[in-house]
Amino acid sequence: MTANPEATTAEPASKVAIPEHLGGGAGDIPSFECTFQIARFLPEQDSEPHFEEYKVTMYGTDRVLDALHKIKWEIDGSLSFRRSCAHGVCGSDAVRINGRNRLACKTLLKDLDTDKPIVVEAIKGLPLEKDLIVDMEPFFQSYREIMPFLITSGPEPTRERLQSAEDRERFDDTTKCILCAACTSSCPVFWTDGQYFGPAAIVNAHRFIFDSRDDGGDLRLDVLNDKEGVWRCRTTFNCTEACPRGIQVTQAITEVRQAILQRAF
């Protein structure tokens, strides 16, 4: 590869052995210049977030999180963002990339238009704390309100609570939620006043409402049969589009709505 000397000396943030017939020789991962516009906010100084531009050399196998790491570790150590597992499971690094809510650790640079600056901001609708970090408390508050735990009646069985494969399948989709808040913070109704329970809380209610082992469905339907509950959904599908786990969020909300209607009539 005839890359510039800087690119060949720098260690790629992630290395994947690409077979010769796919991407050239070993270690010869295509590199390119990327411009990042990252929303910076220091609560002690700024009244509003502002954008700062960073130019970095990235590799074809890198993700947005690798670029954030590179900026933090090599250019500006004051850049703050959350990440934990960095592999799309913990749900810490949901950010707004080019106006769409994504997990930084699951968004590959090769899938973005690297000719234009890549805009990274904190997710919207939650109180901003610093740079890309928001206060998740309002999000978890509505999550707690829908009682995301098994509620049973009657004596405890002496063995495990068995469930048929069909009964398990009924709520399989909504078990995938990692509580990253990408859906709730993409919802325009949530942006207005933050009173709406939000898609994530309803998805997690769905997970228990349709669980055959759970007896607390009525309690949860009561909580969500509220002016800030399922009736506030405008089916804009922003949540379904934003979900990094591919959960059919809007469908789950509609199913909870149907359950409330069936109970009422």
Choose the binding region for other proteins from 26-34, 57-65, 211-219, 231-239 (rule: CB under 8 A): 231-239
Choose the binding region for other proteins from 83-91, 103-111, 185-193, 239-247 (rule: CB under 8 A): 185-193
Q: Is 33 a residue that touches other proteins (CB under 8 A)? A: no
Between CA 244 and CA 91 the distance in angstroms is: 9
Between CA 261 and CA 249 the distance in angstroms is: 19
Which of residues 18 and 119 has its CB atom nearest to other proteins in the complex? 119
Q: Is 216 a residue that touches other proteins (CB under 8 A)? A: no
Between CA 139 and CA 194 the distance in angstroms is: 9
Q: Of the candidates 11, 20, 44, 48, which one interacts with other proteins according to CB under 8 A?
A: 48
Which of residues 86 and 187 has its CB atom nearest to other proteins in the complex? 187
Q: Which of 8, 7, 9, 29 is nearest to 18 (CA)?
A: 29
CB of 172 to other proteins, least distance (A): 27
Burial class (CB in 10 A: 0-12, 13-18, 19+), 181: buried
Count the helices and strands in the chain (H runs, E runs): 10, 7
Q: Is 244 a residue that touches other proteins (CB under 8 A)? A: no
Tell me whether strands 31-40 and 118-121 are parallel, antiparallel or unpaired.
parallel
Cβ 80 vs Cβ 31: under 8 Å: no
Cβ 244 vs Cβ 106: under 8 Å: yes
Which of residues 13 and 253 has its CB atom nearest to other proteins in the complex? 253
Q: Is 260 a residue that touches other proteins (CB under 8 A)? A: yes
Which residues of the shown chain bind other proteins in the complex (CB under 8 A)?
39, 48-49, 51, 96, 99, 119, 121-122, 124-128, 134-135, 137-138, 141-142, 145, 188-189, 191-195, 223, 225-229, 231-232, 234, 257, 260-261, 264
